[in-house]
Amino acid sequence: MSGDRPTLPEAGRPVHGTAAGTAYLALPPTAVDARPSGPTRLILAWPGFDPPRSGAALAAAMPLTGVPTWRVYLELSPADGAPLEGLGSGALLESRGMAAYAAAVETAVDGLPAVLAELRADLGLEDGPVGLAGFSVGASVALHALARGTVPVSAAALVTPVLSPARAAASLERLAGGERDWDDAATAAAERLDLAPRAAEIAAGDAAVLLIAGAKDRVVSSLEITELRDRLREHGLNAVEAATFRMGHAMAAQPGTDAQPPTTEAVRVDGVLTDWFRERVAVLTEPDDAGGPATEAVAPETGTPAADLVEGVPVGRPPEAVTQPVYRPPAGSLTGGREPGSETGFEAGLDAGHGFPSATGAGEGLAPGTGMGFGAVRSPMGERPAGLSQPPPTATSWAGREGTAPGTALVRFDGSALEAAGGGMGRRN
pLDDT, mean of residues 287-293: 49
Lowest mean pLDDT among 91-105, 277-291, 364-378: 364-378
At 368 the pLDDT is 33
How far apart CA 76 and CA 73 sit, in angstroms, is 9
Q: Where residue 82 falls among pLDDT bands split at 50, 70, 90?
A: low
Does pLDDT of 24 surpass 90?
yes
CATH of domain 15-278: 3.40.50.1820
How far apart CA 375 and CA 142 sit, in angstroms, is 31
Select the more confidently predicted residue: 195 or 176.
195
At 175 the pLDDT is 85
At 256 the pLDDT is 87
pLDDT, mean of residues 289-304: 41
How far apart CA 362 and CA 345 sit, in angstroms, is 11
Of 168, 165, 169, the closest CA to residue 191 belongs to 165
At 390 the pLDDT is 39
Q: Are 36 and 331 in contact (CB under 8 A)?
A: no
Summarize pLDDT for 206-235 with one digit per residue, the tens: 999 999 999 999 999 999 999 999 999 999
At 429 the pLDDT is 55
At 134 the pLDDT is 97
How far apart CA 67 and CA 146 sit, in angstroms, is 21
Sequence-separated (6 or more) residues with CB below 8 Å from residue 235: 199, 200, 202, 203, 204
At 46 the pLDDT is 98
- The number of beta carbons lying within 10 Å of the beta carbon of residue 177 is 6
Q: Are 175 and 200 in contact (CB under 8 A)?
A: no
Select the more confidently predicted residue: 8 or 221.
221
pLDDT, mean of residues 15-28: 96
Summarize pLDDT for 310-357 with one digit per residue, the tens: 333 332 333 333 333 333 333 333 333 333 333 333 233 322 222 223
Instruction: State what percent of residues in the chain have pLDDT above 70.
Output: 61
Summarize pLDDT for 166-189 with one digit per residue, the tens: 999 999 899 888 889 999 999 999
Beta strand pairing call for 34-36 and 282-286 = antiparallel
Summarize pLDDT for 255-268 with one digit per residue, the tens: 888 998 999 999 99
What pTM value is reported for the model?
0.69
CA distances to 65, 263, 268, 322 from 275, in Å: 10, 19, 11, 10
pLDDT, mean of residues 289-303: 42
Does pLDDT of 395 surpass 90?
no
Q: Cβ-count burial of 218 within 10 angstroms (0-12 exposed, 13-18 middle, 19+ buried)?
A: middle
At 421 the pLDDT is 31
